[in-house]
Amino acid sequence: MEDTTAILRDIRELDAIPWWPPAPGWWIIFGLLLLLLVAAALRYWLRYSGLMPGWRGDARRQLRALHKALRQDEPRAIAGRLSTLLRRIAMARGGRRQAAGLSGDRWLNWLEENDSTGFSWTKRGRILLQAPYMPPSWVVERKDVARLVAAARRWVDAVTPADRKPAIRWREKLAMYGINLRSRHHV
């Protein structure tokens, strides 16, 4: 009898698992991530290019046109067009019953209450009320109208509805505790 151990071979280790190509599960995960990334980029592009359907896209397009026209046209005319556009945005955002009948200080107060970005429409929005009716000799500053156009763009882009805006601002909250940041001493 022959030696049976002579015909046995040595134990061989398994080959190393290659890193490429990945398993089918990884391909599915990569595909889903790529699809998610493309969808997010497309949504971003549609939103900020003004091509997104609905009132937001239309408002963005018109605000962008007002911003461009502000370089050449008279600021008083742009302020009047902005006031009209803000009224239409307000009706789209809050409803016709809520916004259509407002005028003067009530209109500016409504804008401030329904703007979740915190822009002070009552202080800086006076131009919207006065510019269309000013005599031609009065000057309307381009930077003031540009500031209003930028605030309107932020308001349109704001995702947070105004009813979720904090009711009390931090300065008002501190004032409730007797802390006044505008004076040098605290009560």
Q: Is residue 187 pLDDT above 60, yes or no? A: no
The candidate with the shortest Cα–Cα distance to 101, out of 81, 87, 89, is: 87
DSSP 10: P
Instruction: Take residue 88 and report the two structure tokens written for it.
Output: 């239409």
Three-state DSSP state, 1 = coil
Residue 11: is its pLDDT beyond 60? yes
Which of the pair, 169 or 62, is modelled with greater confidence?
62
Q: Token pair of 21, please?
A: 């190509």
For 122-179, how does the pLDDT look when each residue is reduced to its tens digit (9 = 90+)? 999 999 998 878 888 888 899 999 999 999 999 998 866 555 455 455 566 666 666 6
pLDDT of residue 45: 84
pLDDT at 162: 55
Give the distance, in angstroms, between the CA of residue 71 and the centroid of all CA atoms in the same chain: 24
- pLDDT per residue over 13-61, tens digit each? 888 888 888 989 999 999 999 999 999 999 888 777 767 777 888 898 8
Selected residue with higher pLDDT from 63 and 133: 63
Residue closest to 90 by CA, chosen among 124, 55, 125, 138: 55
pLDDT at 186 over 50: no
